[in-house]
Amino acid sequence: MYRGRSFSRFSVERYRWPNGYGYQRWGIGYSLPRDFWISDYYIYDYDDYGLGPAPGGFQWIRYGPDILLINLYTGQIADAVYGAFEEDGGPGY
């Protein structure tokens, strides 16, 4: 469920965590570590996921099973879609 709309989870390839990291649910307002602010995690096809374009200075990223909207200057999370992804073969987080 995101903004009152339900959707099916998207089946994707296994997520590659940066060294030393594993899943932790991050809430809106928290700052995501800088290791995740790189283009490897950017979601460019946001419309395919029912999301609008990110405002200037922000970027949608994949974080394990979640989609997060982060401020690219501070890493602060402005929005989140929890549980959006399921890895092929089932959850692997």
Evaluate whether residue 7 is within a structural domain: no
Evaluate whether residue 18 is within a structural domain: no
Give the Cα separation of 58 and 60 in Å (integer): 7
Evaluate whether residue 33 is within a structural domain: yes
CATH number at 42 reads: 3.10.450.160
6-29 mean pLDDT:
81
* Structural domain count of the chain: 1
| Residue 86: φ, ψ to 5° | -130, 125
pLDDT interval class at 3 (50, 70, 90): low
Evaluate whether residue 73 is within a structural domain: yes
Query: Domain range holding 38?
Result: 29-87
DSSP H helix total and E strand total for the chain: 0, 5
Evaluate whether residue 16 is within a structural domain: no
pTM over 0.75: yes
Evaluate whether residue 3 is within a structural domain: no
Q: Output the pLDDT for position 7.
A: 55
* pLDDT digit string, tens, across residues 32-63: 999 999 999 999 988 888 899 999 999 999 99
For the chain, the helix, strand and coil percentages under 3-state DSSP, each to the nearest 5: 10, 30, 60
Quick count: other Cβ atoms within 10 Å of Cβ 48? 9
- The residues facing 60 across adjacent strands are 69
Of 71, 68, 66, whose CA–CA distance to 86 is shortest? 66
Q: Output the pLDDT for position 15.
A: 85
